[in-house]
Amino acid sequence: MVRVPLTPEERQRGERFGVLLRQARGERSMVEVAAAAGLSAETLRKIETGRAPTPAFFTVAALAAALGLSLDELAAACAEGAQAGEFRQAG
């Protein structure tokens, strides 16, 4: 199976997602958040840096739960044209 290259918009959305995760993580370590989500720290690092711009749904859901984020707000914040500063963490 050949993987279709990502569009620039998909890459930008992945970058926005990474920024939002870093903001939501705050002072918590990458290792702590990754463990809470059941991921490796390397996987979280790749997502946060945009090297893995299209993580699987269950990975996104696990990270949202570990960080106390709403999937709806997260999706809206990552939508095309959204700016990282527009994200409002629940709580």
Residue-wise pLDDT tens digits, 17-60:
999 999 999 999 999 999 999 999 999 999 999 999 899 999 99
| pLDDT in the model for residue 48 | 95
Question: Under CATH, which number does the domain 8-78 receive?
Answer: 1.10.260.40
Listed by start position, the domains of the chain span 8-78
CA angle 30, 8, 71 (to 5 degrees): 45
Residue-wise pLDDT tens digits, 60-81:
999 999 999 999 988 888 886 5
Number of Cβ within 10 Å of residue 34's Cβ equals 22
pTM of the model: 0.82
91 pLDDT tier (thresholds 50, 70, 90): very low
The set of long-range contacts for 21-27, using a CB threshold of 8 Å and a minimum separation of 24, is 21/47, 21/48, 21/63, 21/67, 22/48, 23/84, 23/87, 23/89, 24/67, 24/68, 24/69, 24/87, 24/89, 25/67
